[in-house]
Copies of this chain bind each other. A is one copy, B any other.
Amino acid sequence: MKRKLRMGMVGGGPGAFIGGVHRAADRLDGRIELVCGSFCTNPEANRTMAGELFIPEEKCYPTYQEMFEKESKLPEGERMDFVAVTTPNSTHFPIAMAALEHGFHVLCEKPMTFSLDEALKLRAKVRETGLVFCLMHNYSGYPMIRQMRRMIADGVLGKIRKVVASYDLGWLAAPNAGKQATWRVSPKMSGAAACVGDIGTHAEQLIEFTTGLKIAEIAADLATFVEGRQLDDDATVMLRFEGGAKGVIELSEVACGEENQFKLRVYGSEGCLEWCQQEPENLVLKTNDSAMKTLRRGWAELDDSVKGMCRLPAGHPEGFFEAFANIYAEFTAAVAAKMEGGTCKGLFPDEETGVRGMNFIETVVASSKQNGCWLPLKKL
């Protein structure tokens, strides 16, 4: 593209968390321009946010409907090229559907929708329109996660036998955890599950992304430790994969003292790979007959495709924003290609990933309701 891609945003008003992360990630590479937004349903707050972002008043829309309608009437190069949806789960579906209907490519926060049913409808719409859809599973944008995926695909671990993921945060340990927490544990805004939707889908997505395996069956035990809370704040999910591998996901948002402790270990017949989100620059390879290796972002023995995702040399720490920005870079490359009449299918999570995640959430909830019996994921 001879110009920056033009982004609109829904959500991300004052006090929101993830909207700001999207914006910072978008800015990092200087190839995306935030040109309009409908940040908040409160008009005052909406304008305040636009002001902080140096967005002119006429580009600060009171509703996403108005934004899509008006923007879609502008000529290419003046209108937004795509929209980022960073609202609570319950509104992903109507916003994304409307965006697609107005011809905009969509980058949407996870989980994809409020229910699996919505996800299937949204997937159908994406297929129908041929527009680009990206689901923000940001952890799959970390270079060392890409390296992990590459090495497993290359057979470094042999045949995969066991996958162990844990994702623990302490932020919901107490009943009142602030605005961010409120909607996440609300059955009306979050969906069938809280913890499983918020972090469980990250684990499920990263497991399937790195290993290439498909979860076949799950057995789950959900818990709600904080009194009065209506949704799960903790879960354990046992996994059986197609092809015979097994696994377990341990999840908690009441893991008092944990920050954002997301860990993944994959064991195969020949070795093990281990990664921790809080130290994302390291990927540890262990085998029975050689010394432990720590592959480092930006250093030796990395796949060329991974080297290309590094903005800084090794030892100059990259982090969360860069992983986020990597997903944006792949998504916008696909958008640009599409706008220029071509295609560019990156590895970014898409509508299939989104359906998979909703399928996972609903199966986990169903298993737990049936006292943890093994249930297959639906074929969709």
Q: Which residues of B contact A221 (CB under 8 A)?
A: 219, 238, 240, 246
- Shortest A49–chain B CB gap in Å is 12
CA distance A311 to B238 in the complex (A): 35
Do B374 and A372 touch across chains, with their CB atoms under 8 A apart?
yes
Do B256 and A271 touch across chains, with their CB atoms under 8 A apart?
yes
Do B24 and A311 touch across chains, with their CB atoms under 8 A apart?
yes
Q: Which residues of B contact A316 (CB under 8 A)?
A: 259-260, 319-320
Query: Quick check: is A47 within 8 A (CB to CB) of the other chain?
Result: no
Query: Quick check: is A255 within 8 A (CB to CB) of the other chain?
Result: yes
Give the residue of B164, B268, B315 whose beta carbon is less than 8 angstroms from that of A256: B268
Query: Quick check: is A270 within 8 A (CB to CB) of the other chain?
Result: yes
Query: Quick check: is A289 within 8 A (CB to CB) of the other chain?
Result: yes
Q: Which residues of B contact A322 (CB under 8 A)?
A: 319, 321
Q: Which residues of B contact A288 (CB under 8 A)?
A: 170-171, 173-174, 256-257, 300
Query: Quick check: is A210 within 8 A (CB to CB) of the other chain?
Result: no
Residue of B nearest to A51 (CB): B2
Q: Which residues of B contact A174 (CB under 8 A)?
A: 288
- Shortest A168–chain B CB gap in Å is 8
Do A259 and B311 touch across chains, with their CB atoms under 8 A apart?
no
Cβ contacts A269-305/B at 8 Å (1 or 0 each): 1111000011111000111111111111011110000
Do B278 and A258 touch across chains, with their CB atoms under 8 A apart?
no
Query: Quick check: is A81 within 8 A (CB to CB) of the other chain?
Result: no
CA distance A373 to B367 in the complex (A): 11
Q: Which residues of B contact A298 (CB under 8 A)?
A: 259
Q: Which residues of B contact A281 (CB under 8 A)?
A: 278
Do B299 and A259 touch across chains, with their CB atoms under 8 A apart?
yes
Do B315 and A317 touch across chains, with their CB atoms under 8 A apart?
no
- Shortest A43–chain B CB gap in Å is 21
Residue of B nearest to A270 (CB): B256
Known: A3-B54, A53-B30, A164-B166. A285 touches B299 (CB 8 A): no
